[in-house]
Amino acid sequence: MNKLLKTLLSALSALPLAYLATNTYLHFKHPQTKWDWSEIDTEDSEFPDDFLWGTATAAHQVEGNNENSNWAAWEKQKNENGEPRIKTGDVSGKAANQWELYEKDIELMKELGVNSYRFSLAWSKIQPDKDTFNEDALQHYDDVINALLKNGIEPMITLHHFTHPIWFEELGAFENEENIKYFVEFSQRVFARYKDRVKYWCTFNEPNVYITGGYFITEFPPGIYSPVTAGIVFENILKAHVKTYKELKKHEPTVQIGIVQSTFQFEPLRRWHLGDWAIARISSNIFNETTLSFFRTGTMNYLLPFETSRSYTDLEAPNTIDFIGLNYYSHHAYKFDFDFRKATQSIAVEGEEMTDMSYTIYPEGIYRAIEEVSKLGKPIIITENGIADAKDDRRGKFIKQSLYAVSKAIKDGFDIRGYYYWSLIDNFEWAEGYSMKFGLYEVDFETQERKLREGSKEYIEIIKKFNSK
Applying CB under 6 A, does 58 fall inside the site for ligand GAL?
yes
Cβ proximity to ligand GAL, 164 vs 408, nearer residue: 164
Applying CB under 6 A, does 205 fall inside the site for ligand GAL?
yes
Applying CB under 6 A, does 262 fall inside the site for ligand GAL?
yes
CB of 429 to ligand GAL, least distance (A): 5
CB of 404 to ligand GAL, least distance (A): 21
Cβ proximity to ligand GAL, 372 vs 429, nearer residue: 429
Residue 14 CB neighbour total at 10 angstroms:
11
CB of 445 to ligand GAL, least distance (A): 16
Applying CB under 6 A, does 66 fall inside the site for ligand GAL?
no
Applying CB under 6 A, does 208 fall inside the site for ligand GAL?
no
Cβ proximity to ligand GAL, 321 vs 410, nearer residue: 321
Per-residue DSSP letters for 70-97? HHHHHTT-B-TTS-BSSTT----TTTT-
CB of 158 to ligand GAL, least distance (A): 9
Cβ proximity to ligand GAL, 252 vs 392, nearer residue: 392
Q: Are 148 and 106 in contact (CB under 8 A)?
A: yes
Residue burial 453-468, b: 16+ Cβ < 10 Å; e: rest: bebbebbbebbeebbe
Q: Are 268 and 232 in contact (CB under 8 A)?
A: no
Cβ proximity to ligand GAL, 52 vs 260, nearer residue: 260
SS3 68: coil
Binding mask 447-466 for ligand GAL (x = CB under 6 A): --------------------
Cβ proximity to ligand GAL, 47 vs 74, nearer residue: 74
Applying CB under 6 A, does 206 fall inside the site for ligand GAL?
yes
Cβ proximity to ligand GAL, 138 vs 217, nearer residue: 217
CB of 354 to ligand GAL, least distance (A): 14
User: What value, to the nearest 5°, has the Cα angle with vertex 151 and ends 148 and 154?
Assistant: 50
Q: Where are the beta strands (DSSP E) in 237-366?
A: 256-268, 299-304, 308-313, 323-334
Nearest CA to 421 out of 406, 411, 432 is that of 406
Residues 402-441 that bind ligand GAL (CB under 6 A): 422, 429-430, 438
Per-residue DSSP letters for 119-187? EE--HHHH-SBTTB--HHHHHHHHHHHHHHHHTT-EEEEEEESS--BHHHHHTTGGGSGGGHHHHHHHH
CB of 430 to ligand GAL, least distance (A): 6
Residues 321-360 that bind ligand GAL (CB under 6 A): 327
Q: Are 51 and 409 in contact (CB under 8 A)?
A: no
Q: Are 374 and 413 in contact (CB under 8 A)?
A: no
Q: Which residues bind ligand GAL (CB under 6 A)?
A: 58, 61, 205-206, 209, 262, 327, 384, 422, 429-430, 438
